[in-house]
Structure 1
Amino acid sequence: MARPHAVTPIPALLLAVLALSLAAFNVRGLLPDSASWRSIVFPDPDVTAQMMLHHTVLPRIVVGLMVGAGLGLAGAVLQRILRNPLAEPATLGISAGAYLVLSIVTLWFPAWLTFGREWIAFAGAALALLAVLSLSWRKGLSPVTVTLAGMIVSLYCGAVSAALTLFNHDFLTGIFLWGAGYLDQQDWSGVQFLYPRLLLVAILLAFLVRPLTLLGVNDDSARSLGLSVAAYRLVALVAAAALAAIVTASVGIISFVGLAGPALARASGARRAGEHLAWSALLGALLLMATDQTVLSLPVTYRLFPTGAATALLGAPLLFMLIRRLKLLAPPHMAPGAVPGRLRHPAVALFLLATLLVPAFWLALSLGQGPDGWSFAAREEIVPFLDWRGPRALAAFSGGAMLALAGAILQRVTGNPMASPEVLGVSSGAMLGVILLLLTATAPTRAEQIAAGAAGALAVLFLMLGLSRKPGFSGDRMLLIGITLGAVSGFVMAVLMTSQDPRLDQLLAWLSGSTYAVRRAEALLSAALLALALASIPLIRRWLELLPLGLATATASGVPIAHSRNILFSISALLTAGATILVGPLSFAGLMGPHIARLAGFHRAGMQLAASAIIGGLILLVADWLGRNIIFPFQIPAGLFATMVGGPFLLVLIARRG
Structure 2
Amino acid sequence: MARLMPFALLAASLWLWSAIGLLPLARWPAWPLDPAGMDISQILLAFGLMPRGVVALLAGAILGLSGAILQVVLRNPVADPTTLGVSAGAQLALVLATMLAPGLLDEGRWPVALTGAGFAAGLVLAIGARRGFAPVTTVIAGMLVGMTASAVATAMTLAQGQYLLSLVIWNGGSLVQQDWSGVRALAAILVFGAIAAALLARPLRVLSLGPEGASGLGLNVVLVRLLAVGVAVILAAAVSAELGLIAFIGLAAPALARSLGAVSIVGLLAWSPVIGAVILSLCDGLVLLVAEQLGEMFPTGALTGLIGGPLLIWLLPRLRGSTPPGTERGEGASQRRRDPVPLLVRLALGLVIATVVLIWIGRVPGGWAVLDAESFAAFLPMRLPRLIAAASAGAALAIAGAILQRLTANPLASPEVLGVSGGAAMGYAGVVYFAAAPTAIALTAGTMSGGALALLLVAAFVSRRDMPAERVLLAGIAVSALASALLSAIMAVGDMRSFQILGWLSGSSSAMTMQGAFALAGLAVVLWMVALALRRWLAVLPLGAGVAGGLGLPLRQARMILIALAGMATGAATVLVGPLSFVGLMAPHVARRLGLARPGDHITGAALIGAGLMLVADFGARMAGFPYELPLGLFASLIGGPWLIWLMTRPAR
Mapped to 2, the partners of 1:613 and 1:228 lie a distance apart of 49
Unaligned residue ranges in structure 2 (runs of 5+): none
Mapped to 1, the partners of 2:550 and 2:396 lie a distance apart of 36
Q: Which amino acid aligns with 2:298?
A: F
Q: Percent identity?
A: 37
1:304 counterpart residue number: 297
Match for residue 520 of structure 1 among 513, 518, 529: 518
Q: Greater CA deviation, 106-115 or 216-225?
A: 216-225
Distance 1:450 1:633, change over 3 A: same
CA RMSD in angstroms, aligned pairs only = 4.7
**1:194 deviation in Å?**
1.4
Match for residue 394 of structure 2 among 394, 397, 403: 397
Distance 1:19 1:187, change over 3 A: same
Distance 1:454 1:161, change over 3 A: same
2:537 counterpart residue number: 539
Equivalent residues in 2 for 1:436-515, closer than 5 Å: 436-439=430-433, 443-461=437-455, 463-464=457-458, 467=461, 470=464, 482-483=476-477, 485-495=479-489, 497-498=491-492, 500-503=494-497, 506-515=500-509
Whether the aligned pair in 2 keeps the contact of 1:68 and 1:287 (CA below 8 Å) is: yes
**1:68 deviation in Å?**
1.8
Mapped to 1, the partners of 2:210 and 2:356 lie a distance apart of 53
Mapped to 2, the partners of 1:592 and 1:291 lie a distance apart of 38
2:148 counterpart residue number: 156
**1:202 deviation in Å?**
3.7
Q: Which amino acid aligns with 1:528?
A: V
**1:253 deviation in Å?**
0.8
Mapped to 2, the partners of 1:214 and 1:602 lie a distance apart of 48
Q: Which amino acid aligns with 1:94?
A: V
Does residue 261 (structure 1) correspond to residue 253 (structure 2)? The answer is yes
TM-score relative to the length of structure 2 = 0.79
Q: Which amino acid aligns with 1:398?
A: A
TM-score relative to the length of structure 1 = 0.79
Does residue 105 (structure 1) correspond to residue 79 (structure 2)? The answer is no
Mapped to 1, the partners of 2:323 and 2:300 lie a distance apart of 33
Mapped to 1, the partners of 2:322 and 2:341 lie a distance apart of 33
Distance 1:106 1:536, change over 3 A: same
Does residue 233 (structure 1) correspond to residue 230 (structure 2)? The answer is no
Mapped to 2, the partners of 1:306 and 1:643 lie a distance apart of 26
Cα deviations across residues 320-351 of structure 1 (Å, max 9, x unaligned)? Answer: 9x9389633656589489788864x3234966
**1:585 deviation in Å?**
1.2
**1:554 deviation in Å?**
10
Does residue 72 (structure 1) correspond to residue 58 (structure 2)? The answer is no
**1:292 deviation in Å?**
0.3
Cα deviations across residues 27-82 of structure 1 (Å, max 9, x unaligned)? Answer: 3334425468xx77776875655665444333222221222232233334444555
Q: Which amino acid aligns with 1:647?
A: G
Q: Greater CA deviation, 270-279 or 581-590?
A: 270-279
Mapped to 1, the partners of 2:278 and 2:573 lie a distance apart of 38
**1:215 deviation in Å?**
6.0
Whether the aligned pair in 2 keeps the contact of 1:395 and 1:583 (CA below 8 Å) is: no
Distance 1:636 1:69, change over 3 A: same
2:284 counterpart residue number: 292
**1:245 deviation in Å?**
0.7
Mapped to 2, the partners of 1:229 and 1:346 lie a distance apart of 41
Unaligned residue ranges in structure 1 (runs of 5+): 1-7
Whether the aligned pair in 2 keeps the contact of 1:323 and 1:477 (CA below 8 Å) is: no
1:358 counterpart residue number: 348
Cα deviations across residues 74-128 of structure 1 (Å, max 9, x unaligned)? Answer: 3344445555555431344332233223223333444444333344333433343
1:367 is paired with a residue whose SS is: helix
Q: Which amino acid aligns with 1:26?
A: S
Mapped to 2, the partners of 1:422 and 1:630 lie a distance apart of 24
2:579 counterpart residue number: 585
Whether the aligned pair in 2 keeps the contact of 1:85 and 1:330 (CA below 8 Å) is: no
Mapped to 2, the partners of 1:645 and 1:359 lie a distance apart of 22
Distance 1:438 1:144, change over 3 A: closer
Whether the aligned pair in 1 keeps the contact of 2:56 and 2:284 (CA below 8 Å) is: yes
Does residue 180 (structure 1) correspond to residue 172 (structure 2)? The answer is yes
Q: Which amino acid aligns with 1:639?
A: G
Mapped to 2, the partners of 1:376 and 1:15 lie a distance apart of 67
Whether the aligned pair in 1 keeps the contact of 2:406 and 2:541 (CA below 8 Å) is: no
Mapped to 1, the partners of 2:382 and 2:12 lie a distance apart of 64
Whether the aligned pair in 2 keeps the contact of 1:406 and 1:576 (CA below 8 Å) is: no
Q: Which amino acid aligns with 1:644?
A: L
Mapped to 2, the partners of 1:334 and 1:405 lie a distance apart of 25
**1:299 deviation in Å?**
3.7
Does residue 367 (structure 1) correspond to residue 357 (structure 2)? The answer is yes
Cα deviations across residues 593-612 of structure 1 (Å, max 9, x unaligned)? Answer: 56667888999999988876
**1:178 deviation in Å?**
2.8
**1:291 deviation in Å?**
0.8
**1:289 deviation in Å?**
0.9
1:587 is paired with a residue whose SS is: coil
Whether the aligned pair in 2 keeps the contact of 1:468 and 1:566 (CA below 8 Å) is: no
Whether the aligned pair in 1 keeps the contact of 2:18 and 2:288 (CA below 8 Å) is: yes
1:585 is paired with a residue whose SS is: coil
Distance 1:615 1:197, change over 3 A: farther
Distance 1:208 1:120, change over 3 A: closer
Whether the aligned pair in 2 keeps the contact of 1:397 and 1:620 (CA below 8 Å) is: yes
Q: Which amino acid aligns with 1:251?
A: L
2:429 counterpart residue number: 435
Whether the aligned pair in 2 keeps the contact of 1:406 and 1:575 (CA below 8 Å) is: no
**1:520 deviation in Å?**
0.9
Match for residue 165 of structure 1 among 138, 149, 157: 157
Mapped to 2, the partners of 1:254 and 1:115 lie a distance apart of 23
Q: How many aligned positions are there?
A: 638
Mapped to 2, the partners of 1:354 and 1:262 lie a distance apart of 51
